[in-house]
Amino acid sequence: MTALTPTLHNETATMPSPPVKGSMSDTGKLVRNVLHSLEDAKAEDIVSIDLRGKTSFGDMMFVASGRSSVHVGAIAERVIKACKDAGLASPRVEGMPNCDWVLVDANDVIVHVFRPEVRQFYNLEKMWGGDRPAERGARASA
């Protein structure tokens, strides 16, 4: 069993491999568009988490931060546009009124954009990362 390992992205980071659910070319294009939109909007601390084989609600999760509620909203708008540019008619969006935490559900790709203190409180990377107790136990017995 493989562990979930968050991947930190920066200007020189490599693109995560495309998820397998659905059409690979469509999903790969969506992943590339979303990552590019996050970087283009100056999202901070971008982390990608490969969810393939771990859950049925998505194949890739991105977690990123914005410096303020306005920045979080602007990042989310760019992500929504990137999803539409990749051929997704309308991703499901939660949290836009307050912009403390915006969730963009683009079917196989899930994007969370937080203000830093909200991100720290919920700590999704730890929840989905490879150091979860259940993951450690599964690796030890494998």
Over the stretch 67-102, which tens digit does the pLDDT of each residue have?
999 999 999 999 999 999 888 888 999 999 999 999
| Domain total of the chain | 1
Q: Model confidence over 14-38: pLDDT tens digits? A: 344 443 344 445 678 899 999 999 9
**Alpha-carbon gap, residue 142 to 138, rounded angstroms:** 6
Let me know if residue 3 belongs to a domain.
no
Q: Say if 2 falls within a structural domain.
A: no
Contact 89, 51 (CB under 8 A): no
Residue 12 resides in a domain: no
Has residue 4 been placed in a domain?
no
Domain of residue 74 covers: 18-141
Is residue 129 a part of any domain in this protein? yes
Give the CATH number for residue 123: 3.30.460.10
